[in-house]
Amino acid sequence: MDIGQKIKQLRIKNGLTLNDLASRCELTKGFLSQLERGLTTPSIPTLQDIVEALGITMAKFFQEESDEKVVFTANDHFVDQREGYTVTWIVPNAQKNQMEPILVELNPGEKTMDISPHEGEEFGYITQGKVTLVDGEHHYTVKKGETFYIKGQNLHYMKNNTSQPAKLIWITTPPVF
């Protein structure tokens, strides 16, 4: 971490000039200028004064901002071969998010695991073939190009009653897979 650069970014973000910040933390404009350019380093008490003058805590100042990935390629996917079907996590570590999208490839005559009742919702889009959505006592046929949207209140699963493979994008909130 470049401490001087971070101070400069925060100073500018707060709309402060070097004079403003110098006045707030009782330092010279010259010292702050050298600090922002990486020509000097502050003591811990001085850094604490600067950080407080910028309106944040030391913990927040040193917290690394992680660039969240937005676009995922096939190289990022995680594939899990299960008996009768394959689950591909198309967004890695989605369990930490509010929703979890997966790609399910369901072999002919097979079914997915049972999803226990949960407080959430699910959406699916069939990209190939035809499946039967079993939601509690209800059975729904969902074909290629069609979608489903259910509450997670019943035990449910997908079944492929055909002789052709089926594929679907299945999104749950919260993550359940």
pLDDT in the model for residue 65: 65
Alpha carbon distance 171, 90 (integer Å): 10
Token look-up 């046929």 returns: 141
Per CATH, 3-62 and 74-173 having the same topology is answered no
Classify each residue of 17-48 as buried b or exposed e, where b means 16 or more C-beta atoms within 10 Å of its C-beta. ebeebbebbebeeebbeebbeeeeebeeeebe
Q: What is the pLDDT of residues 41-74, one digit of tens each?
A: 999 999 999 999 999 999 989 887 666 778 989 9
The domain segmentation of the chain, as residue ranges, is 3-62, 74-173
**Which span out of 15-24, 31-40, 61-70, 121-130 was modeled with the highest average pLDDT?**
121-130
- In this structure, are strands 85-89 and 166-173 parallel, antiparallel, or unpaired? unpaired
For 161, list phi and psi in degrees, rounded to 5: -90, 10
Q: Is residue 150 a contact partner of residue 118, using CB atoms and an 8 Å limit?
A: no
pLDDT in the model for residue 66: 63
Determine the CATH number of domain 3-62. Answer: 1.10.260.40
pLDDT in the model for residue 67: 66
**Where do runs of H (alpha helix) occur along the chain?**
3-13, 18-25, 29-36, 44-53, 58-62
**pLDDT over threshold 80, residue 1:** no
The alpha-carbon radius of gyration of the chain (Å, integer) is 27
Burial group, residue 64, by CB count within 10 angstroms (0-12, 13-18, 19+) = exposed
Report the sign of the C-alpha dihedral through residues 94, 98, 101, 106, in that order: positive
pLDDT in the model for residue 95: 67
Q: Which fold has domain 74-173?
A: Jelly Rolls (2.60.120)
Q: What is the pLDDT of residues 71-91, one digit of tens each?
A: 989 988 989 999 999 999 898
| Strands, E assignment, 6-137 | 78-82, 85-89, 100-106, 121-128, 130-135
pLDDT in the model for residue 169: 97
* Mean pLDDT for the stretch of residues 104-110: 97
Q: What is the pLDDT of residues 130-175, one digit of tens each?
A: 999 999 999 999 999 999 999 999 999 999 999 999 999 999 998 8
Q: What percentage of the chain carries pLDDT values higher than 90?
A: 76
